[in-house]
Amino acid sequence: MLPRQQHLFNALNACVAACNQCFTSSLAGAIDTSRVRSIQLSRDCADLCQLVAAFVARGSEHVQYLLRECAELCRACADEVTQYPQSHCRHCTEACRQAEDACRTAY
């Protein structure tokens, strides 16, 4: 894997882990309706980043078509999750921003 691809792969996997942690921690806490979008976006973001990371790992010629959407979803997730003060939310926001930047740089 080229260094640029490795950076993208690492950023995507870090985002998967952070979003899954945010999703799980948010479900474990008291849920109110204001958190539903945050929870859904963190789960969607984890799933899409995982898919894109798999495409990057195998050198798929189609990864370029997923990068823009992945960057957009990472941005939306970060924008939503950033409004919550918990440490897992701050970590998720940071990981999403890094994955967004890596995706935007790659396409």
Q: Domains (ranges, CATH) in the chain? A: 3-106 (1.20.1270.360)
Amino acid at 31: I
Residue 3: pLDDT band with limits 50, 70, 90: confident
**77-86 burial code (b ≥16 CB/10 A, e <16):** bbebbbebee
Banded model confidence at residue 52, pLDDT cuts 50, 70, 90: very high
Euclidean distance between CA atoms 82 and 104, whole angstroms: 20
The predicted pLDDT at position 2 comes to 82
- Among residues of the chain, what percentage have pLDDT more than 70? 96
Has residue 35 got a pLDDT over 90? Answer: no
